[in-house]
Chain A
Amino acid sequence: MSETISQSLMRLDAPDKIAGRAKYVADLKMKDCLFALTVRSPIAKGKILQVSLPAMPEGYQVVDHRDIPGENIVKIIYDDQVIFPVDEVKYIGQPILLVVGPDKRIVERLAKAIKIEFREEQPVFAWENSVIRYQFTKGEGDAPFASAANTISYTYTTGYQEQAYMEPQGFIGHYDRGKIVLVGSIQCPYYVKNALIRALACDPDKVRVIQAAVGGAFGGKEEYPSLIACELAVAINKIKKPIKLIFEREEDMLVTTKRHPAQIKLAAAIGADGAIRALRAHVGIDAGADIGLSGVVLSRAMIAATGAYTIDNLAVSGDVYLTNTVPTGAFRGFGAPQMLFAIEMFIEHIAKDLGRDPLAYRLDYLAKQHDKTSTSGVFRDPILMPEMVEKAMAMSGYAAKSERYPREAGYRGIGMSFFLHGCGFTGSGEAKTIKAKVKLEKDSEDLVHILIAAVDMGQGVHTAMRKLVASIMEIPIETVIYDYPDTDQVPDSGPTVASRTMMIVGGLVARAARALKESFIPGQHQVAEEQYVQPDYIKWDEDTMQGDAYPAYSWGVTVVEVAVDPHTYQVNLEHAWSVYDCGKAIDELMVLGQADGGLAQGIAYGCLEVMEHDQGKIRQKNLTDYIIPTASDVPAMTTMLIDNPYPLGPYGAKGVGELTLVGGAPAVAKAIEMAINKRITKIPATPEAIMELIKHG
């Protein structure tokens, strides 16, 4: 079956989803279940002076910081995020307490009647309070600037992006003989479990976390659910009854994590021959009020500083700024979309400023196998970009169109982006922090159970993993079982993030499947376990950010064609073409689905999705204010997958989920740039932004 692994299988979990039988967290019911509603800070910064409760009817109560048995910390990376504040708040929407009771409407009424007195303080919105600063260099660093013939610099800015998964966040939980059980819409069962252990100061076997069907996540359900889970677990621990906490859309939009706004300053030292002698980059990102995952987001952005190109001399620095705004966090791409937009535009802008042909100039710098990466590691595996660029150009008619459109000045444009995405955790994350474990268990009826913590949030883990095991063991897929992860059943195979699931977790599952196949005894209960071991040629120095930041890279080329309305500046997306190298598709249709969905989000990030805050308050509070693409907005898409098997991935698979997003924004921005003949340095390039550029340059 190995030749045909990419052949598409119908998604095994789809029939239940289509029929509405799949149970998402809001669909779950428990007897005598109470409802919880969060009371939040209306101010961006200040002290809590007094909380006055209305008369609470019998059976209704509040839960706050005094009810936390363990540490008042949401375990993520840094200990700076509280579950419930003691006496100070630092952003609008920060949870302060829960109101819990049997009737939702009464809970709502009570929550409204709670009066909290604050002493407001001056909030900080400017990017001045850096809490994390990283830097690294390559080659001669920025020394060549001293002798450069010419320096070209640009600053690129990107806004918030909201994950806008269709299913809002939520959990339902209950107390089961001394144990707290939570079922939720989550990406990372063990992140939640570990956060609960700390908040409740309990033994690991006193908490159990189960995934419900997840209605989309895109990173938005990576770390944020840990906060909700801690709040709810504290409530359940106090009240000892089932409680449900489901966000409304508006709540979800206003308070959950979003993509970090970024400002990226790039400068190039240009030699007399017009070549780039060195690149200097500074990446600033806005973490909001808690650091959360921002350090990791920053490092991924910085490591992507040269995009799909090789530049020999580099000096990269970056800062994470704290502000009194809603915390930002994980979102598909994780820092890379910001950086890829910036570097893709920058190389184009350098070429234009030098009067060179942008495409030829860019092709000259494309990374090749054995080149040094930005962090002086090595691109070990074959890079097929030249061939991929050729294919993308042929499919899209790029050469002719890019020659014609600027000449015709008919507000049409075509843009092409080159990009890569590092697969798996950055640096030593896999080896030192995650240490993924997987387990296959064959029962006495020869059913093989896949025990992993990787969740299916729509990307197809359920089908892909079953297919992988069935294919390796050469057994019918019906005899391979995958259930939504339950921390009482599955080992910690790590979070479902960072395009690591197929390559890393799938790689371990494949190894376990091979072992099980070899030792197969019919009718006997058998177990095969595997744990991640970093290949020893992968070296990474955390402090200097030197070495191999990722074990492997996926690559892509995306072309977008637009027509800009000369009167309204509305951008019509005519067509998008992409070519991806994600090693080997474990299921072609599923990869194509990731490609379509990721690209739609990436293009919308570049030209449609606007989110801003006003004095710390998010202005877009629903899906009318925050526009995501509808069926009429997305262009037709043509996708081609190139086989380039990665030796350590199962059947050669690398990561795919994030790759497909990162090329969207630069491709559409370049297309718009061609259509209006102005430099785009800021996304989203909305009609208002385009008008501004046309009127004032």
Chain B
Amino acid sequence: MAKIEFTLNGEVRQVDIDPTIRLLDYLREDLDLTGTKEGCGEGECGACSVLFDAEVANSCLVPMGNVAGHDIVTIEYFSRTERYRILEKAFLEQGAVQCGFCTPGMIIAAESLLRKKPKPSDAEIKIGLSGNLCRCTGYNMIIAAIRQAAKEGEGLW
């Protein structure tokens, strides 16, 4: 067990926890924050994406020991923002959601991308999504959604 202090969804937390536990399990099992999904558990699919100091990260690869001192944001918290609203609208309008299992992770990846590149080219969007797999959509509608969000959310990122 180890004492770990970090920020989760805007709140500072101190927990006494086995530092080898995965952040993903802590979120899903201990806190019931199930918007973060497990698709592979091996860093391949991005369904477990969270914002780690505003960068997209696979929470299945992050042991709790590594979150000490960092700022973690999950879809549950991000979904309260204005930027989320823009992304949500774009995903809806472009048909970017089918089974939805990859979607929260895609939204997190999009947020991280748009923070760095508020006006991404298609090539940059593709690179920004390279860690997130989707088996349903063939990606083009997701790419279009991010393009739309960048446009409609100009100034927000």
A166/B47 in contact, CB under 8 A = yes
A624/B99 in contact, CB under 8 A = no
Main secondary structure of the interface of A (DSSP, over half): loop
- Indicate if A171 sits at the interface (CB-CB under 8 A): no
- Indicate if A696 sits at the interface (CB-CB under 8 A): no
Report the minimum CB–CB distance from B73 to chain A (whole Å): 12
With A249-B42, A593-B95, A597-B138 already in contact, the answer to whether A24 and B76 are too (CB < 8 A) is no
Among A17, A27, A596, point to the contact of B140 (Cβ < 8 A): A596
- Indicate if B37 sits at the interface (CB-CB under 8 A): yes
Bound-state Cα–Cα, A409 to B93, Å: 42
A29/B103 in contact, CB under 8 A = no
- Indicate if A21 sits at the interface (CB-CB under 8 A): yes
Among B92, B132, B137, point to the contact of A593 (Cβ < 8 A): B137
Report B-chain residues with C-beta under 8 Å of the C-beta of A593: 95, 98, 136-137, 141
B35/A596 in contact, CB under 8 A = no
Among B34, B37, B44, B102, point to the contact of A622 (Cβ < 8 A): B44
Bound-state Cα–Cα, A14 to B99, Å: 9
Q: In the complex, which residue of chain B has the Cβ closest to the Cβ of A624?
A: B44
Report the minimum CB–CB distance from B132 to chain A (whole Å): 8
Report the minimum CB–CB distance from B124 to chain A (whole Å): 11
Bound-state Cα–Cα, A688 to B37, Å: 34
- Indicate if B101 sits at the interface (CB-CB under 8 A): yes
A457/B99 in contact, CB under 8 A = yes
Report the minimum CB–CB distance from A12 to chain B (whole Å): 10
Which of A250, A622, A631 has the most chain B CB atoms inside 10 A of its CB? A631
Interface 9-residue window, one of A214-222, A228-236, A297-305, A527-535: A214-222
Q: Sort chain A's interface into a size bin.
A: 35 or more
A630/B133 in contact, CB under 8 A = yes
Report A-chain residues with C-beta under 8 Å of the C-beta of B42: 249-250, 622-624
CB contacts under 8 Å to B, within A141-172, are 163-168
B100/A17 in contact, CB under 8 A = yes
Interface 9-residue window, one of A119-127, A511-519, A632-640: A632-640
Report the minimum CB–CB distance from A268 to chain B (whole Å): 34
With A164-B135, A636-B140 already in contact, the answer to whether A623 and B99 are too (CB < 8 A) is no
A19/B79 in contact, CB under 8 A = yes
Bound-state Cα–Cα, A230 to B97, Å: 32
Report the minimum CB–CB distance from B83 to chain A (whole Å): 13
- Indicate if A213 sits at the interface (CB-CB under 8 A): yes
Bound-state Cα–Cα, A592 to B98, Å: 11
The digit string for B25-69, where 1 denotes a CB below 8 A from any CB of A, is 000100010111111111011010000000000000000000000
B40/A249 in contact, CB under 8 A = yes
Bound-state Cα–Cα, A17 to B35, Å: 8
Report the minimum CB–CB distance from B107 to chain A (whole Å): 6
- Indicate if A360 sits at the interface (CB-CB under 8 A): no
Report B-chain residues with C-beta under 8 Å of the C-beta of A460: 98
Bound-state Cα–Cα, A460 to B92, Å: 13
CB contacts under 8 Å to B, within A1-46, are 8, 10-11, 13-24, 26-27, 29
What number of B residues sit within 8 Å (CB to CB) of A?
A: 50
B34/A20 in contact, CB under 8 A = yes
A623/B88 in contact, CB under 8 A = no
Report A-chain residues with C-beta under 8 Å of the C-beta of B135: 163-166, 216, 218, 597, 601, 628
B39/A167 in contact, CB under 8 A = yes
B139/A19 in contact, CB under 8 A = no
Among B92, B101, B138, point to the contact of A634 (Cβ < 8 A): B138
Q: In the complex, which residue of chain B has the Cβ closest to the Cβ of A252?
A: B40
The digit string for B111-155, where 1 denotes a CB below 8 A from any CB of A, is 000000000000001110110111111111111000000000000
Report B-chain residues with C-beta under 8 Å of the C-beta of A213: 99-100
With A19-B79, A24-B37 already in contact, the answer to whether A631 and B143 are too (CB < 8 A) is yes
Report A-chain residues with C-beta under 8 Å of the C-beta of B134: 166, 631
- Indicate if B75 sits at the interface (CB-CB under 8 A): yes
Report A-chain residues with C-beta under 8 Å of the C-beta of B39: 166-168, 215, 249
Q: In the complex, which residue of chain B has the Cβ closest to the Cβ of A591?
A: B95
Report A-chain residues with C-beta under 8 Å of the C-beta of B125: 631
Q: In the complex, which residue of chain B has the Cβ closest to the Cβ of A27?
A: B34
Bound-state Cα–Cα, A597 to B47, Å: 18
Bound-state Cα–Cα, A213 to B103, Å: 13
Bound-state Cα–Cα, A14 to B104, Å: 11
Report the minimum CB–CB distance from B125 to chain A (whole Å): 7
With A216-B101, A597-B137, A631-B125 already in contact, the answer to whether A592 and B37 are too (CB < 8 A) is no
Report B-chain residues with C-beta under 8 Å of the C-beta of A667: none
B142/A631 in contact, CB under 8 A = yes
B99/A216 in contact, CB under 8 A = yes
Report A-chain residues with C-beta under 8 Å of the C-beta of B35: 19-21
Report A-chain residues with C-beta under 8 Å of the C-beta of B99: 17, 165-167, 213-217, 457-458
Report B-chain residues with C-beta under 8 Å of the C-beta of A622: 40, 42, 44
Q: In the complex, which residue of chain B has the Cβ closest to the Cβ of A21?
A: B35
8 A-B pairs with CB atoms under 8 Å apart are: A11-B92, A19-B88, A20-B34, A24-B101, A26-B28, A166-B135, A599-B138, A636-B140
Residues of A within 8 A of B (CB): 8, 10-11, 13-24, 26-27, 29, 163-168, 213-218, 248-250, 457-460, 589-590, 592-593, 596-601, 622-624, 628-632, 634, 636-637
3 closest residue pairs by CB, A with B = A20-B35, A17-B100, A458-B99
19 additional contacts, CB 8 Å, given A19-B35, A216-B135?
Answer: A10-B93, A14-B103, A17-B97, A17-B104, A18-B79, A20-B35, A23-B34, A26-B34, A165-B99, A166-B45, A166-B135, A167-B101, A216-B99, A596-B137, A597-B135, A598-B138, A623-B133, A634-B138, A634-B139
Residues of B within 8 A of A (CB): 28, 32, 34-42, 44-45, 47, 74-76, 79, 87-88, 91-93, 95, 97-104, 107, 125-127, 129-130, 132-143
